[in-house]
Structure 1
Amino acid sequence: MSTDASGGEATGVPVTVTADAAREALSLLEGEGMDTDVSGLRLFVQQGGCAGLSYGMRFDTEPEEDDQVTEQHGLRVFVDPASMNYVGGAKLDYESGLQAAGFHVENPNVESECGCGESFRT
């Protein structure tokens, strides 16, 4: 399901969320005492990093009026219109391994990434 916060159908290709990412984010949301029926994970793009743009994520209690809201595996993801231009069609995953664990954005819009994978250019 993908709508804008006013209830209308969203434009653009939504962000997809893996079951692992949703499970981890929901666990963190609940740990913060947030209502997972209303709250969600905000994915956004900001200026920064050696390649020019970087991803940001935070929990929000509710979407903004013009956000695209995607709900998958019980997790609500909020993306503002400007960020959607960069992350539309991306996949949010959670990876855990021996050296690092965390959320990872697989973005088909990226032309190049920096060596550490923290910033990108479209």
Structure 2
Amino acid sequence: MESVLAHDLTLSPAAARRVAQLAELEGKPGLMLRITVSGGGCQGFQYAFSFDDQTASDDRVFERDGSKLVTDETSLDLLAGAEIDFVEDLMGAYFQVKNPNATSSCGCGTSFAVN
């Protein structure tokens, strides 16, 4: 089992597979999943996902099975220790954030609060 530090952000195996599949579909093998946190949403903060092939000087990159996850230092402060998963269920298919820093979240899982 790989060691995970409390400030790390991880991709689940399912999320890593999905990032690889989407990068292949786009024809861009270096495509990374980017997660950012911004103010807003019904709980105070909200997650945003996008794909990126570039990194900025304040970005941190995390990797699993060749797939990369990138976030900026400010977002990482609110995501430290979180796992990004990919879920397929009756509600659809989506990336899900399992964030130990969130004290509450909205029903759709895109907005959260911290104390």
TM category (shorter chain) comes to 0.7 to 0.9
Q: Within 2, Cα distance between the matches of 1:104 and 1:77? A: 13
The total of aligned residue pairs comes to 111
Q: Match for residue 21 of structure 1?
A: 15
Q: Within 1, Cα distance between the matches of 2:32 and 2:110? A: 22
Q: Within 1, Cα distance between the matches of 2:107 and 2:33? A: 26
Q: Return structure 1 stretches of 4+ with deviation > 6 angstroms.
A: none
In structure 2, give the amino acid aligned to 1:20.
A
Q: Within 2, Cα distance between the matches of 1:34 and 1:84? A: 25
In structure 2, give the amino acid aligned to 1:19.
P
In the superposition, the TM-score normalised over structure 2's length comes to 0.88
Q: Within 1, Cα distance between the matches of 2:71 and 2:52? A: 11
Q: Match for residue 77 of structure 1?
A: 69
SS of the residue corresponding to residue 86 of structure 2 reads strand
Q: Within 1, Cα distance between the matches of 2:109 and 2:80? A: 18
After superposition, the CA RMSD in angstroms is 1.8
In structure 2, give the amino acid aligned to 1:74.
G
SS of the residue corresponding to residue 65 of structure 1 reads coil
Q: Contact between 2:103 and 2:113, CA under 8 Å: does it hold in 1? A: yes
Q: Does 1:48 align with 2:40?
A: yes
Structure 2 gaps of 5+ residues are none
SS of the residue corresponding to residue 15 of structure 2 reads helix
Normalized per residue, the structure richer in strand is: 2
SS of the residue corresponding to residue 20 of structure 1 reads helix
Of all paired residues, the percent bearing the same amino acid is 38
Q: CA deviation at 1:12?
A: 6.6
In structure 2, give the amino acid aligned to 1:111.
T
Q: Within 2, Cα distance between the matches of 1:43 and 1:53? A: 13
Equivalent runs, 1:1-122 vs 2, <5 Å: 13-36=7-30, 39-122=31-114
In the superposition, the TM-score normalised over structure 1's length comes to 0.83
